[in-house]
Structure 1
């Protein structure tokens, strides 16, 4: 399995593991280590007769294990491409992000000392229940799951690459194995810290002055991360970082053809062929006010391109899309071209682009007439697991996903994947 992955141009498992390891040593994770460890070791503290402090290694390791289990759960949810659970998670990603953002903001305010204050009488205090001594297995899992949202801008590009590779793997088992390898690289350092908690926390205690500053600074960082998670700004940052990381020629997935592959290049068939994946159906309006329902185009091939006005690779390939749109009959033939924009709206303030009016002006100003529908809630982008722009999906005449490509395409590559989808080869 590993040999076929590497031979097909995929990422070797060693590099996937290294990507997870490097994601741990990022500015989103390392500065907050004292907070993680302080909470996870909260009720494992032991003081001997001489006043020396140590921590029950077994209990701390258990909580750390459950903490990383929460992280792993979030990563695997993202890895369940097009499954019912994965689609539900993606479609409700805004809700998860906002809840997670609020929790992270509250934790940051507690760290900064703003949520422990006096009311009326001096001895009465209002305190949020973030008491480390109340750490429990469930709280440890929830903490891991919640903090996985806070690390989006740092782990996003590496994790996205792994998820794209996993979703296009020959088998579901191989895809899950890739996510597991990345997750192991990310969580093993946490487990090591769980083993050496006493030494690490005693070292930090000896540096109390520095630690006090670090805790306050971490609180500020948590509040900033929570605000960005709540507002959806992390989505824009991650999408932009992923766009910068794309190769200019695009990275084909699910056997998407290179331009030199020629018309005889065949998609896999027989027992090794990937199972058909019904395309997520939607009904959206375009820049002309026309309503498009994807399932209405059964019997035709659909070229579905997700893009943004600020994305240089998107802008570079749009003249090719316009040219092919006209060449194939302006959606009057057996090939339909649809762009998909994700404007900011009241329901989706974390949208990946400007307003509907901004996107429409961009299209009109550049003379692009192919229809672009507006995903004003983010549901469609979530269902299609879009994490970078541009991303192009090919939908066959049966309404199934034939394949997709993340990254910029040349005109010949576009023509080639259209013809391959038309012929089913």
Structure 2
């Protein structure tokens, strides 16, 4: 989980900030005294004439209110994430479209222009008169309050749901919604603790709150630009370069997820690629087949390695190929690469039954937002660390797109017939590497 969050922490911080700013907006603030006063129940005046609330009861009702808000956000998030899964084969296009929409929402929020359907409120009007305060009623109020897509909250929440739909997994999509919900509801919890003081403060500072909506719009514009252009790639790889020295022993379940692929024409051409169905076995490999599977041909490519030698994957039919996607900044990759080098030497240096190929995605002038450093820097990294197994340079990102790489490292096993036998996202021990190689060598050819 730490790696998952660390690779995307800029997005998560911005989403959290959006949640906070969604609360501190001119559209939400006027509603707070009404809702909080109702949650607090009847108040008695103290000696100084100020209202005194039962803090314990208010906090409990506020928690239920917050749960109602979060529940609605998660319902929306899960539906959008399901949409994202359905469009997974077109993620590059989805990323481009999502970036443009988020950018437009940011422009709407700062007042550059208006979208009428976002300016309309979608609030369920509850008749609270005579209703007794209860945890259930507080939950229902929170649920209905979350649908108040006012002119302020609408663009922010919509942008988060778009990010959730484009997330690389349902977990990431739900985490984005959770972070937004946390930013939005934490102030409510604080209100529950300091109801009287908070109501007084908000009443005195309502005019100042109008500027927070502009700040939220700027954040939306930044998210939109980074989503569309792939700027997040460089930021994420830079952040991941820290902490690569002391990495705990990695297992097949540990992987660093790269940022969304930078939109490129070459990557777009492979958007229809579907991942191989996976179900991890005891060895850590995810077999791509059932007892009688259909053959799933590996995506062919012709690329050049660090020595200037050309490799065409289909030329290795008759041999097993250990295809490893990695990045110089990825700590789990660095953890497993010595094992790959050892097996490369022990199993005949690609002259016998097993071929080892690394795949890197270095940035170039034409593709500045690729996953790694420049070609020369990748070559220098290999030389400095004594890695001699061939690593081909996917300078356009097409091979990464074909194999739908969404975690570093990821290893694909290609059988003797040139079909994908299975794949493993995450770092592997030498023993597991040897095990999956043996499995692939012994595999019964799939029925084509």
TM-score category (smaller protein): 0.5 to 0.7
CA-to-aligned-CA distance 1:257-309 (integer Å, 9 cap, x gap): 549xxxxx9979865x6654332222222222322222222221110111111
Give the CA deviation at 1:423.
Answer: 0.8
**Counterparts of 2:90 and 2:393 in 1: how far apart (Å)?**
20
Partner of 1:76: 85
CA-to-aligned-CA distance 1:221-255 (integer Å, 9 cap, x gap): 11221232233133456677799999833226634
Partner of 1:248: 249
**Counterparts of 2:180 and 2:225 in 1: how far apart (Å)?**
28
**Counterparts of 2:317 and 2:326 in 1: how far apart (Å)?**
23
Task: Tell me the TM-score normalised to structure 2 length.
Answer: 0.56
Q: Secondary structure at the match of 2:323?
A: strand
**Counterparts of 1:305 and 1:70 in 2: how far apart (Å)?**
34
Partner of 2:340: 321
The RMSD of aligned alpha carbons is: 5.2
CA-to-aligned-CA distance 1:143-167 (integer Å, 9 cap, x gap): 9886556469xx96xx64859xxxx
Partner of 1:104: 102
User: CA distance change for structure 1 residues 324 and 132 in 2, over 3 Å: closer, same or farther?
Assistant: same
Partner of 2:311: 292
CA-to-aligned-CA distance 1:126-153 (integer Å, 9 cap, x gap): x4657634899xxxx999886556469x
**Counterparts of 2:242 and 2:439 in 1: how far apart (Å)?**
26
Bigger Rg over Cα:
2
User: CA distance change for structure 1 residues 188 and 353 in 2, over 3 Å: closer, same or farther?
Assistant: closer
Partner of 1:307: 326
User: CA distance change for structure 1 residues 412 and 108 in 2, over 3 Å: closer, same or farther?
Assistant: same
Unaligned 5+ segments in structure 1 are: 1-10, 12-18, 42-63, 78-84, 116-126, 164-178, 194-202, 260-264
**Counterparts of 1:413 and 1:290 in 2: how far apart (Å)?**
29
2:212 to 188, 211, 214: 214
**How many residues get paired?**
328
Contact 1:97 1:229 in 2 (8 A): yes
Task: Tell me the TM-score normalised to structure 1 length.
Answer: 0.59
Correspondence 1:234 to 2:229:
no
Partner of 1:277: 296
**Counterparts of 1:244 and 1:404 in 2: how far apart (Å)?**
26
Q: Secondary structure at the match of 2:105?
A: helix
Alignment of 1:70-219 (within 5 A): 71-77=80-86, 86-89=88-91, 93=92, 95-113=93-111, 115=112, 127=113, 129=115, 132-133=118-119, 147-148=160-161, 150=163, 160=169, 208-209=206-207, 211-219=209-217
Unaligned 5+ segments in structure 2 are: 28-72, 123-153, 186-198, 254-277
Correspondence 1:363 to 2:364:
no
Partner of 1:122: none
Partner of 1:225: 223
Contact 1:254 1:404 in 2 (8 A): no
Give the CA deviation at 1:313.
Answer: 1.9
User: CA distance change for structure 1 residues 270 and 364 in 2, over 3 Å: closer, same or farther?
Assistant: closer
User: CA distance change for structure 1 residues 344 and 295 in 2, over 3 Å: closer, same or farther?
Assistant: same
User: CA distance change for structure 1 residues 243 and 162 in 2, over 3 Å: closer, same or farther?
Assistant: farther
Contact 2:325 2:410 in 1 (8 A): yes
Is the helix fraction higher in 1 or 2?
1
**Counterparts of 1:247 and 1:400 in 2: how far apart (Å)?**
33
**Counterparts of 2:304 and 2:17 in 1: how far apart (Å)?**
45
Correspondence 1:386 to 2:405:
yes
Q: Secondary structure at the match of 1:409?
A: coil
Partner of 2:18: 32
